[in-house]
């Protein structure tokens, strides 16, 4: 790679960015973003021709890969026909997109409310649950991320909610995480049982008749790819039914192929009342998200006005991109590829790295949704310090891999179209960088 040699366009791009672009979740002064000029499949490049394997899928959303021709063509065709129209109209692309999404949903789901992305999908799912039940409180886990809008950021459990706690009626609880168990559990079964008991006590202590919804990521993503232990999601469903509470599953990151299934929850014997989606539904080619609504909740608004809407709800370019993406994912077996490559290639490769590097405390995941939890000491499980994680991120980028690094973890989250050879190439890069950092870590 020639990362020290930048083209005039790369320099111009950086100068414009630093002069005028205000970046999210960042102190602005020290930013030095990677320049991206183009991409194809699992690879992106800058103007100078430096190429990177994208094992972040950007924000874990480019499930179909960069510049998939079927999605680009669908957007082009729709733009030539009708670039925009208001949500109060009926539009063929919007209807086709909704029909394809519902086709993948469980029985008993017929309607889709389109939003501009995942955060406002969560906002509207919460609103629907509150209006349907007549209750107010929403329960969600501490280890979660649900978006950066009013209720979604307060439903989020991590540090980002703390400067933004302006929404009402939110209560947090601990979900299962056996590697760092809050419940002194020694097995997945114990973790599930004790986490469910904890949740029930929170429900009882908060007053079940005031709780509208339990909001969970089917597989918590940003919090660490926390694959739920056996029986947990089914147990949450049972608690919700027992106390008359709606269950909202956040599939924004985990949905549409990421876990090797169309919806992550399909692997856990659970059906929610509301499903929030975005990201993988069209791989972010045009901003879009939405809520898949159970027939029972949808019927609440047959004769009652739903007090919510968005100018770009079901935007025709976004809808066309959904149709193009989902049709291509089905015809090309892309979800099946994510399942196979996860079980047969990524999982074994990461396990081999863990056998080799003491920095890796745990490997977990499924499909193309994995995490390496890095520790300074395997015995104490002390997280690897931020400085070392920063060096790891820098080393990966320097070797031509775009990583998703969060806290003390490397999230291994390539597009669903990733090949066996690309996984092998990435594994070599992870191996090289972990070896280098391991030599420098006492």
Q: What is the pLDDT of residue 161?
A: 93
List pLDDT tens digits, range 230-281. Answer: 999 999 999 999 999 999 999 999 999 999 999 999 999 999 999 999 999 9
Tell which phi-psi region holds residue 25, choosing left (phi > 0), alpha (psi between -120 and 50) or beta.
left
H helix or E strand, kind and range, residue 362: strand 360-366
Q: Is 30 helix (H, G, I), strand (E, B) or coil?
A: coil
CATH T-level fold of 8-67+333-440: 3.90.1150
Per-residue pLDDT averaged across 87-114, rounded?
A: 98
Q: Is the pLDDT of residue 1 over 50?
A: no
Q: What is the pLDDT of residue 98?
A: 98
Domain boundaries for CATH 3.40.640.10 within the chain = 69-331
Q: Tell me the pLDDT band of 440, cut-offs 50, 70 and 90.
A: confident
Per-residue pLDDT averaged across 329-355, rounded?
A: 98
List pLDDT tens digits, range 110-162. Answer: 999 999 999 999 999 999 999 999 999 999 999 999 999 999 999 999 999 99
Q: Is the pLDDT of residue 209 over 60?
A: yes
Segments in 21-105 forming alpha helices (H) = 57-60, 69-81, 92-104
Q: What is the pLDDT of residue 302?
A: 98
Per-residue pLDDT averaged across 360-387, rounded?
A: 98
Q: What is the pLDDT of residue 228?
A: 98
List pLDDT tens digits, range 264-276. Answer: 999 999 999 999 9
Q: Give the number of other Cβ atoms within 10 Å of residue 209's Cβ.
A: 12
CA atoms within 13 A on the CB side of 162: 3
List Cβ neighbours of 303 (8 Å cut-off, separation of 6 or more). none
Q: What is the pLDDT of residue 442?
A: 60
Q: What is the pLDDT of residue 441?
A: 67
Per-residue pLDDT averaged across 58-64, rounded?
A: 98
List pLDDT tens digits, range 386-418. Answer: 999 999 999 999 999 999 999 999 999 999 999
Radius of gyration over alpha carbons of the chain, in Å? 22
Calculate the average pLDDT of the chain.
96
User: For 119-123, 358-362, 435-439, which range has the lowest pLDDT when averaged over its residues?
Assistant: 435-439
Q: What is the pLDDT of residue 344?
A: 98
Q: Is 35 helix (H, G, I), strand (E, B) or coil?
A: coil
Return contacts of 327-333, CB within 8 angstroms, 24+ apart: 327/70, 327/100, 328/64, 328/68, 328/70, 328/71, 329/63, 329/64, 329/256, 329/257, 329/416
Domain boundaries for CATH 3.90.1150.10 within the chain = 8-67+333-440
Per-residue pLDDT averaged across 99-106, rounded?
A: 98
- Displacement of CA 350 from its chain's centroid (Å): 20
Distance CA 135, CA 278 (A): 26
- Beta strand 404-406 pairing with 409-412: antiparallel
Q: What is the pLDDT of residue 439?
A: 84
H helix or E strand, kind and range, residue 179: none
Q: Is the pLDDT of residue 5 over 70?
A: no
Q: Is the pLDDT of residue 4 over 60?
A: no
CA atoms within 13 A on the CB side of 74: 26
Q: Is the pLDDT of residue 2 over 70?
A: no
Pick the CATH number of 69-331 from 3.30.1490.20, 3.30.70.100, 3.55.50.30, 3.40.640.10: 3.40.640.10
Q: What is the pLDDT of residue 6?
A: 64
pTM beyond 0.85: the answer is yes
């Amino acid at each position: 790679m020639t990362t020290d040699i930048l083209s005039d366009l790369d320099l111009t791009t950086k100068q414009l960015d630093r002069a005028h672009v205000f970046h999210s979740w960042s102190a602005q002064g020290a930013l030095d973003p990677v320049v991206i000029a183009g991409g194809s499949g699992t690879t992106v490049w800058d103007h100078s021709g430096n190429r990177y394997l994208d094992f972040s899928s950007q924000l874990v959303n480019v499930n179909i890969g960069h510049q998939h021709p079927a999605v680009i063509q669908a957007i082009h065709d729709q733009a030539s026909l009708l670039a925009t129209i208001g949500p109060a109209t009926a539009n063929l692309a919007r209807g086709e997109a909704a029909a394809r999404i519902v086709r993948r949903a469980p029985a008993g789901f017929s309607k889709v409310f389109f939003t501009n992305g995942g955060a406002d999908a969560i906002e509207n799912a919460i609103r629907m649950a509150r209006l349907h039940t007549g209750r107010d409180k929403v329960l969600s886990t501490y280890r979660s991320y649900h978006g950066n809008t009013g209720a979604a950021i307060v439903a989020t459990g991590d540090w980002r909610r703390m400067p933004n706690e302006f929404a009402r009626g939110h209560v947090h609880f601990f979900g299962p995480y056996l590697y760092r168990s809050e419940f002194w559990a020694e097995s997945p079964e114990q973790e599930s049982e004790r986490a469910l008991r904890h949740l029930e006590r929170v429900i009882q202590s908060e007053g079940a008749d005031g709780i509208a919804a339990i909001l969970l990521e089917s597989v918590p993503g940003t919090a660490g790819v926390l694959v739920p232990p056996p029986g947990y999601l089914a147990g949450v469903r049972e608690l919700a039914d027992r106390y008359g509470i709606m269950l909202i599953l956040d599939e924004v990151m985990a949905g549409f192929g990421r876990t090797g299934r169309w919806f992550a929850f399909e692997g856990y014997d659970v059906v929610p009342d509301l499903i929030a989606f975005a990201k993988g539904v069209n791989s972010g080619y045009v901003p879009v998200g939405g809520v898949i609504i159970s027939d029972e909740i949808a019927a609440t608004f047959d004769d009652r006005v739903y007090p919510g809407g968005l100018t770009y709800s079901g935007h025709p370019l976004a809808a066309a991109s959904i149709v193009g993406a989902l049709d291509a994912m089905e015809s090309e077996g892309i979800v099946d590829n994510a399942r196979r490559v996860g079980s047969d290639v990524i999982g074994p490769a990461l396990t081999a790295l863990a056998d080799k590097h003491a920095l890796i405390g745990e490997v977990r995941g499924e499909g193309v949704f994995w995490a390496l939890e890095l520790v300074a000491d395997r015995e104490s499980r002390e997280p690897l310090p931020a400085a070392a994680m920063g060096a790891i991120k820098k080393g990966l980028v320097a070797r031509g891999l775009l990583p998703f690094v969060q806290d003390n973890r490397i999230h291994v989250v390539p597009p669903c179209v990733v090949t066996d050879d690309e996984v092998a190439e990435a594994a070599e890069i992870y191996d090289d960088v972990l070896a280098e950092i391991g030599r420098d870590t006492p």
